[in-house]
Amino acid sequence: MALTLSRKNELRTWLELSRKNLRHNLEVFRRLSGKVTRIWVVKANAYGHGLDALGPALLQEMRKGEWLGVDLLDEALLLRRIGARCPILIMGWIPPARLGEAVRNDLRIMVSSSKTVMALGKMKSMRPIRVHLKIDTGATRQGALPEEALGMVRLIKRYGLVLEGCATHFANIEDVDNPAYSDLQIERFVGVVSKIKALGFALPVVHAACSAATMIRRETLLSAVRIGIGLYGLNPSALVAKSYRRAAHRGQALKPVLSWRSRVALIKRVPAGTPVGYGLTEKTKRSTIIAIVPVGYSDGYDRALSSRGYVLIRGKRCRVLGRVCMNMIIVDASFANGAAENDIVTLIGAQRMNAVTADELAAAAGTINYEIVSRIAEHLPRFIV
């Protein structure tokens, strides 16, 4: 839920969402994508940022003709409840028993199977049922295989559905040094789209490009783009970020929307050789000021950050000591210039002249920034700043 700033003193762990940075990222991708349909992807609880918190701000910043993209039907229904009247594309699988809800709420549906097409075709609706055909060009996930596409198109027509668009998904677009597979995928996709258009379908919304493709592979921009991780100011990968900077986009650097804060719950000094936390996996090497921070893996702070993660207290980097617990972490606050109980702790974001990034935590945990932010627990309060 989105809270007001006046509530911050009542909280022990929360997220701050920068509307200014959100607006900046929107403008960056508008400039990069040009005159195409932009689909802002807010799946996975808006990549962990909080769909009910970020959604209203995003809706106010969106322009006419821009869309939203989700994975779940329930995400789309939430967007309708908070006032979204723009087109919403459901990109994930919908249980057959719930397809009627999607139709009644005028939602676009990504289809990959003939069974979904037939189920939609049997429904009665006062408005057109618009679908996007997903083509599996090499990710081997959702989508009809290229050789199945024309049969699917004929089935869509036979059942009276509106084929509004076609889509595919890149498997390896971030590998900027080895573009061969992405080139093959776009070649396959363009070939299928051409055959479908030759059958008389207009296909006004054809989309393949994600954040990474929009940033570094302009030849993948068709009539629409899907912007996910970049919307939130995070780079799809280090390779993409490096290539993007080389392409003279320095003035269009992405800005992280999310900052994750907590507080110091307890301060204590312990002597050298003191075991710390579960399993006694670490002992202090010197007299150490310990800070207990009330956030843990149940909140989405990855257990892989045990003895590896860093937080900021009074602008100083403080290492996580021992294991991350379910509801708390233990950090070395010895160099945090008089750290005290109730001090703000920054888990992700800037504090004074220092910062901890989602990319840094991802590297320490052996994962990607997508996972670091998308797994932040939904129960944590979020508010726009």
Q: Does a structural domain hold residue 3? A: no
Q: Are residues 206 and 288 in the same domain?
A: no
* 319 and 238 both lie in a single domain: no
Residue 9: pLDDT band with limits 50, 70, 90: confident
Say if residue 207 is in the same domain as residue 97: yes
The predicted pLDDT at position 97 comes to 97
* Amino acid 251: pLDDT: 65
Indicate if 134 belongs to the active site. Answer: no
Q: Are residues 174 and 265 in the same domain?
A: no
Is 4 inside a domain boundary? no
Q: Residue 42: how many CB atoms within 10 A of its CB?
A: 27
Average pLDDT over the chain, rounded to whole? 96
Same domain, 207 and 304: no
For residue 186, pLDDT over 80 is answered with yes
Give yes or no for residue 1 having a pLDDT over 50: no
* Domain span at 268: 258-384
Do 274 and 226 fall within a single domain? Answer: no
Nearest to 241 by CA among 215, 209, 210, 208: 215
Residue 10 has pLDDT above 90, yes or no: no
Q: Which residue has the tokens 């709420």?
A: 105
pLDDT band at 4 (very low <50, low <70, confident <90, very high): low
pLDDT score at 250:
60
On whether residue 197 sits in a domain, the answer given is yes
Question: And the tokens for 206?
Answer: 């054809």
**What pLDDT band is residue 285 in, cutting at 50, 70 and 90?**
very high
Q: Are residues 61 and 90 in the same domain?
A: yes
Mean pLDDT of 176-204: 96
Q: Is 157 designated active site?
A: no
Residue 5 lies in a domain: no
Note whether residue 12 is domain-resident. Answer: no
- Max CA distance (Å), the chain: 78
8 A C-beta contact, residue 168 and residue 182 = no
Q: Which of 317, 322, 270 is nearest to 296 (CA)?
A: 322
Instruction: CATH number of the domain at 323, please.
Output: 2.40.37.10
CA torsion sign for 364, 358, 14, 74 is: negative
The owner of tokens 């945990």 is 365
Q: Which of 202, 236, 252 is the last residue of a domain?
A: 252
- For 273-282, the pLDDT digits (tens) are 999 999 999 9
Cα separation, 309 vs 302, whole angstroms: 9
> Which of 43, 301, 310, 316 does the annotation list as catalytic?
43
Q: Would you say residue 229 lies in a domain?
A: yes
**Region 290-316: what's the mean pLDDT?**
98
Residue type, 88: I
Residues 145 and 220 in one domain: yes
Tokens 């004074």 -> residue: 352
Same structural domain, 58 and 198: yes
Which residue among 191, 220, 252 closes a domain?
Answer: 252
d(CA 91, CA 69): 7
Flag whether 225 is in a domain: yes
pTM of the model: 0.95
- CA-CA distance, 240 to 12, in Å (whole number)? 35
Taking residue 71's Cβ as centre, other Cβ atoms within 10 Å add up to 17
CB 42 within 8 A of CB 58: yes
Q: What share of the chain in percent tops pLDDT 90? A: 94
Number of H helices, E strands in the chain: 12, 20
Final residue belonging to a domain, choices 233, 252, 271: 252
Rounded CA-CA distance 144/148 in Å is 6
Cα–Cα dist 323/281, whole Å: 7
Contact 273, 319 (CB under 8 A): no
CATH number, domain of 90, equals 3.20.20.10
Catalytic residue, from 122, 242, 268, 278: name it.
278
Report the number of distinct structural domains present in the chain: 2
The H or E element spanning position 291 is strand 288-293
Residue % of the chain over a pLDDT of 70: 97
- The answer to the question of residue 55 being in a domain is yes
pLDDT per position as a tens digit, 131-173: 999 999 999 999 999 999 999 999 999 999 999 999 999 999 9
Quick check: 224 and 15 in contact, CB under 8 A? no
Same domain, 266 and 316: yes
Q: What is the CA radius of gyration of the chain?
A: 23
Can you name the residues that pair with 67 across neighbouring β-strands? 39
Say if residue 238 is in the same domain as residue 271: no
Residue 8 confidence (pLDDT): 73
Residue 111: the pLDDT is 98
| Statement to judge: residues 293 and 372 lie in one domain | yes
